[in-house]
A and B are shown apart, each in its own frame.
Chain A
Amino acid sequence: DARVTQTPRHKVTEMGQEVTMRCQPILGHNTVFWYRQTMMQGLELLAYFRNRAPLDDSGMPKDRFSAEMPDATLATLKIQPSEPRDSAVYFCASGPGGTYNEQFFGPGTRLTVL
């Protein structure tokens, strides 16, 4: 049963600390997406990759957020330094590409920045 995995599932940290979230896309999927979900903003697309190359990260605060795919089995989202307003659930999703590029979501990382 192929699925997207995310670690950690929960993270509590203090303001100013670095946070790294990891995602393992489904094997064979060539697109990876990072979303942030908050009550106020709903689901926001932060960045997405195709074949490990970043295609669009316009939704991501550039000064503190960075997203990478060091290899096809790992995507990372890093926040440095973290702020309380970054508290949210962060979802990773992967897709096989193609015509409608159906996305398969991971379980999310719930981040709390104190």
Chain B
Amino acid sequence: DTGVSQDPRHKITKRGQNVTFRCDPISEHNRLYWYRQTLGQGPEFLTYFQNEAQLEKSRLLSDRFSAERPKGSFSTLEIQRTEQGDSAMYLCASSFRGFSTNEKLFFGSGTQLSVL
């Protein structure tokens, strides 16, 4: 059990470019979550996967954002045509049966995105 891994740790990009982040959850966890956190704020829910199915999406997730979890293992979050307002820490979390079943969420270290 190596914990939740996120790659890259930091990403600097120019406005208008596309970026992709990767999350590798704990191996036996079939629930995977993406959150976004800006400075001084708590994380905000973006989307949730159960295995390969994306079951919930926040209204925060505009058409420029897309997330996938092929084969129910790792997940990717892509942001197209980045804007300066996308600058934030993007956090991935996983759990075995989900927060609603009174299980803890395990977070990765996050990807810090800076859009210039």
Binding partners A and B: no
Question: Which A residues form the contact surface with B (CB < 8 A)?
Answer: none
Question: Which B residues form the contact surface with A (CB < 8 A)?
Answer: none
